[in-house]
Chains A and B, each alone.
Chain A
Amino acid sequence: MQRRRAAYRRRQSVRSVLIAAGSTAVLGTLLVVAVANSPGWPRVQQSFLDPAVAVESLPAVLRGLWLNVRLLVFCAVGALALGLAIALARTLRPAVFFPLRAAATSYTYVFRGAPLIIVLYLFTFGVPGLRLAGTPSVLVLGGCALVVTYGAYLAEVFRAGIEAVHPAQRAAARSLGLSHAQTMRHVVLPQAVRRVAPPLLNDLVALQKDVGLISLAGPIDAIRAAQIETATSYNFTPYVVAGVLFILLAIPLVAVTDWVTMRAARRQTWAGTA
Chain B
Amino acid sequence: MVRSRQRAALVGTVAVLVTAVAGCSPQADDPPVDPPTPGPCNPQWLDTIVPRTLTVGTDQPAYPPWFVDDAPENGAGFESAVAYAVANQLGYEPDAVTWVRVPFNNAIAPGPKSFDIDINQFSITEERRAAVDFSSPYYDVTQAVIALEGSPAASVSTLAELREVKLGAQVGTTSYRAITEVIAPTAEPAVFNNNDDAKAALRNGTIDALVLDLPTAFYVTSAEIDDAKIVGQLAQPSGSPEQFGLVLDKGSPLTDCVSEAVDELRDNGTLAGLEAEWLAEVAGAPVLS
Chain A residues within 8 Å of B, Cβ to Cβ: 40, 43-44, 46-47, 124-125, 128-129, 131, 138, 215-220, 224, 227-228, 230-236
Contact = CB atoms under 8 A, between A and B. Distances in A.
Interface string B117-139: 00000000101101110000000
Given A43-B111, A46-B110, A220-B190, 11 more contacts: A40-B110, A43-B110, A47-B110, A128-B201, A128-B206, A129-B204, A220-B188, A224-B191, A228-B172, A231-B104, A234-B130
Given A232-B127, A235-B131, A128 B176 contact: no
A227 B171 CA distance: 7
A216 B200 CA distance: 12
Nearest to A128: B204
B110 A227 contact: no
Given A125-B200, A215-B191, A218-B191, A224 B171 contact: yes
A78 to B, nearest CB: 22
A124 B193 CA distance: 14
A234 B131 contact: yes
A220 B125 CA distance: 23
Contacts of A231: 104, 171-173, 176
Interface of chain A: mostly helix, strand, loop or mixed? helix
A227 B206 contact: no
Contacts of B203: 129
A32 B29 CA distance: 57
A131 B203 CA distance: 10
A125 B197 contact: yes
A231 B171 CA distance: 8
Interface in B140-197: 168, 171-173, 176-177, 188, 190-193, 197
B190 A218 contact: yes
Interface in B191-219: 191-193, 197, 200-201, 203-207
A213 to B, nearest CB: 11
Contacts of B207: 218
